[in-house]
A and B are shown apart, each in its own frame.
Chain A
Amino acid sequence: MAFLLSSDPDTSSPELKRKKRTRSAEETNAAPFTSQRQRIKRWRTEREQQIYSSKLGEALRRSRRSGREVRETADRLLAVSARGATRWSRAILSSQRGGAELRKHKKARVTGNGRLKKLAGGIKTVENRRLPAVERKMKVLSRLVPGCRKLSLSNLLEEVSDYVPALEMQVRAMTALAEIIAGEGGGVAPSPADQPGTS
């Protein structure tokens, strides 16, 4: 069963959301292959990009507009598009909502696994002969992806595999959006060559 619970994250309580996330994370792990691929493919579709563009356009119209707020809105909507399926998206949402408590709980759950702490610590102490450069860069990578600092190698890879196409979509969508708006404000008719969703 690979379909993930996609209730509106804006209305779920944090606790309920956490339980749902646990269940869906387990379901994902049970059948990671198909559902992960489908998720990743989705980021590359034009439809997904257009949905994101229009949501972002609408949100920006309503909200205050400093560069930082635009970034936060863009990230939040991107995370929402992930529908709770990935750690990076959940980390973005919980950090934006000031979910420090959520993070505490998540930490307890995650490090309870023993292996994760050891992985983080073991990078420095164990296995000097075993590619320290690789492990060092794994750490750097884990810090670049939200919410992924203490993951095992496989889990980190899974998150990165989803995060990168999501970011790419975000860039394409925001670029297209900027061109649409710039075209409008220039006083000239928007160029027909500007196609949102072209990748």
Chain B
Amino acid sequence: MSSRRSSQSGVSRISDDQIIELVSKLRQLLPEIRNRRSDKVSASKVLQETCNYIRNLHKEVDDLSERLSQLLSTIDADSAEAAIIRSLIM
């Protein structure tokens, strides 16, 4: 409640409540931190790791996009489609 009030009043400080909310929410998203002991993680570290994680995911998507693009250009589209359908049915 207080965190909501402080953001609505226009005062832009980040309250302790918000920090707690931030740490707990972000920790759930990160594969490594999830397994660590709960009281050891700072907000700054959690934020840093979230940023790194998202950047890594973006990069993976980029690499996969490249790979898919190359695969599709060398393979007959219909057999690729057929393979996809087969694998989904099975």
Contact = CB atoms under 8 A, between A and B. Distances in A.
B57 A134 contact: no
Contacts of A8: none
Interface in A112-159: 114-115, 118-119, 121-123, 126-127, 130-131, 133-135, 137-138, 140-141, 144-145, 152-154, 157
Contact of B26 (A68, A157, A184): A157
Contacts of B87: 180, 190, 194, 196
Contacts of B64: 74, 171, 174-175, 178
Interface in A163-199: 163-165, 167-168, 170-171, 174-175, 177-178, 180-185, 190, 194, 196
A23 interface: no
A196 B47 CA distance: 31
Interface of B: 3-4, 7-14, 18-19, 21-22, 25-26, 28-29, 43-44, 47-48, 50-51, 53-55, 57-58, 60-62, 64-75, 77-88
A69 interface: yes
Interface centre among B18, B19, B67, B68 (most CB of A within 10 A): B68
Secondary structure at the B interface, as helix, strand, loop or mixed, is helix
Interface residues of A, number: 62
B14 A131 contact: yes
A115 B12 contact: yes
Contact of A57 (B50, B53, B80): B80
